[in-house]
Structure 1
Amino acid sequence: MGVDELFTDEKAPGERAGRRSKQRNAQRHRQGFFRTIVQILGELLITAGVVLLLFIAWELWWTNIDANNAQQHAISAFAKEFQGPVAPVNSGAEPKDFGPPVVMADIDSPGKVFGVVYIPRFGATYSRPLVDGVAREQLDTLGLGRYATSTMPGGIGNFAVAGHRQTHGAVLDAIDSLVPGDKIYVQTKDGYYTYVFRNNQIVLPTRADVLLPVPTEAGAVPTERFMTMTSCNPRFGSEERIIAYSLLESWQPASAGPPAAIAAQVAANSSKG
């Protein structure tokens, strides 16, 4: 064996060990890099999850609290200006016919609160402001908004309103619980209008014909006094719309006091005004 061969044999194991060490270092480096990437992605996903949960909590909880406070303030302001007794004047007497209902002039003033809606089916203390307009700035804050193309409460034709179902006060959350015969009361400065729920309908968002003077009947001349409530469907979605139709049963002026069914809530609202 020559000297060169001897040195070659002596260096070979060291070189092989060096190569293996470099390979292990490279492998550890790659593993460390991928581990870091996975950790970063995991942290980003956790952060995104927390942000999503906070957003859902804000949508389903805080917007309701914020809107409820604004709506109660609006009801109190309306009650403070309302002129009329807060208890029935002829309690226990036979219902009186007050003739054709007084119908407010179209106010065409988006954002103006001009009434209060009471729906006992939704709870004994349910009362929500009635505001002109159905833009986000009205529905997200003040509750039930009147479509500008519809009539005013008590008018011949279609008095149509919209409201959120799960957020921003959830004013129509229980719209699907209405049953035929349920009463819906609308209070304005002129008095109280009693509508009776007839039926509901599930439609696509493009079905604007539900807002026609005679709902869903294009070209028909109205002879009745409708109330139409619209909201999103299902409860946590907006793929459809749920429509609730009612007909005016009676009305009474502010001087007669409220219907007995809502007298306690009218008085409660007045005491906060």
Structure 2
Amino acid sequence: MIRRAVSVLGELLVTAGVLTLLFVVWQLYWTDLTSGRAQAATVSSLEQRWERTTTPAPTSTAPVADPPVDAVGVPPVGQPFAILHVPRFAADYSVPIVEGTGTEELKDGIGHYTQSVMPGQIGNFAIAGHRVTYGKPFNQIAELQDGDAVVVETATQWLTYRVRSHEIVRPQQVSVIAPVPDQPGATPTQAWLTMTACHPMHSARQRYVVHAQLESVRNRADGPPSSLAAPAGSAG
């Protein structure tokens, strides 16, 4: 009886181990594959739609106060409305930005904190992404260097931000996405972009945060900005 019980227990443990391994494979690899494909399809769909509706307008070569938000205004939660390009990550890095930072939204791309401003507006355009699983769009966030370009593409504009600082904080330190990063209550006078991701890798114990400042705004009809060129030593 004891021998049989030990045998059954052993089989159960082996089964549990196999199921755990399968879950890890699904979580780390399968979700990357499926989400990556879905996000690429979203990027393609957005760009095709924008190409059909883009009209020429004057080009701006410097940050402007509150550049107009696209005609769609603030999108509903879950809707993709912009594309993020980070040349440091790869020359062809293009990931959709969707409204909201819930579990479902972060499966579909990079999430926009709904309490933060829209791209290019004065204040802090704050976004979040996974470092592992679901396409892992911010897997290389710690490799960003000061001065690196972070480019946001919308239906009407290309907005180039430049990395200014990095920090690692507790998840409760929400001041990093305040209108003036790390200065809650301060009145913003500049346009910022803040990227957040879990830290360290495979853990949610902390947050890795990168702050970037708006450098220039270019009309979409004028073509991609030179800031999309891959920096020396990058994966691109």
Report the TM-score, using the length of structure 2 for normalisation: 0.89
Among candidates 48, 51, 63, match of residue 19 of structure 2: 51
For residues 53-111 of structure 1, the C-alpha deviation after alignment (integer angstroms, 9 at most, x for no partner) is 0000000000001101110111111011113899xxxxxxxx96367263316414111
Q: State the percentage of identical aligned residues.
A: 39
Equivalent pair of 1:83/1:254 in contact (CA under 8 Å)? no
Shift of 1:255: 1.9
Q: CA deviation at 1:200?
A: 1.2
**Deviation digits for residues 155-207 of structure 1, max 9, x if unmatched?**
10000001111010001000000110110000001210000011111111111
Q: In 2, Cα distance between the equivalents of 1:96 and 1:225?
A: 15
1:111 equivalent to 2:78? Answer yes
Residue 125 of structure 1 and its aligned partner are, at CA, apart by: 1.4
Q: Would you say 1:97 and 2:61 are equivalent positions?
A: yes
Larger helix fraction of residues: 1
Q: Distance in 2 between matches of 1:49 and 1:241?
A: 30
Segments of 5+ residues of structure 2 without an aligned counterpart are 231-236
Q: Is the 8 A contact 2:167 2:210 kept in 1?
A: yes
1:7 matched to which residue of 2?
none
Task: Give, in whole Å, the separation in 1 of the partners of 2:156 and 2:46.
Answer: 12
Does structure 1 residue 205 correspond to structure 2 residue 171? yes
The answer (yes or no) to whether the contact 1:85–1:254 under 8 Å persists in 2 is no
Pairwise CA RMSD? 2.1
Within the candidate set 189, 199, 203, 1:237 is matched to 203
TM-superposed deviation, 1:251: 0.9
Q: Which amino acid aligns with 2:68?
A: V
Mapped to 1, the partners of 2:111 and 2:94 lie a distance apart of 14
1:116 alignment partner AA: I
- Contact kept? 1:84, 1:255, Cα under 8 Å: no
The higher radius of gyration belongs to 1
Encode CA deviations 1:115-156: one digit per residue, 9 max, x unaligned: 11000111111110011111111101x211111100000010
TM-score normalized with structure 1 length: 0.77
The one of 156, 164, 168 aligned to 2:130: 164
Residue 74 of structure 1 is aligned with which of 42, 46, 67? 42
**Which residue number in structure 2 is paired with residue 148 of structure 1?**
114
Structure 1 spans left out of the alignment, 5+ residues? 1-32, 87-94, 265-273
The residue identity in structure 1 corresponding to 2:43 is I
Choose which of 175, 178, 187 in structure 1 pairs with 2:141: 175
Aligned with 1:244: secondary structure?
strand
**What is the rounded CA distance, in whole Å, between the counterparts of 1:177 and 1:98 in structure 2?**
26
The 1:131/1:186 distance shift into structure 2, 3 A limit, reads: same
C-alpha distance in 1 between matches for 2:63 and 2:121: 13
Instruction: Give the match's secondary structure for 2:114.
Output: coil
Whole-Å separation in 1 of the counterparts to 2:49 and 2:35: 21
- The correspondence for 1:63, drawn from 28, 31, 34, is 31
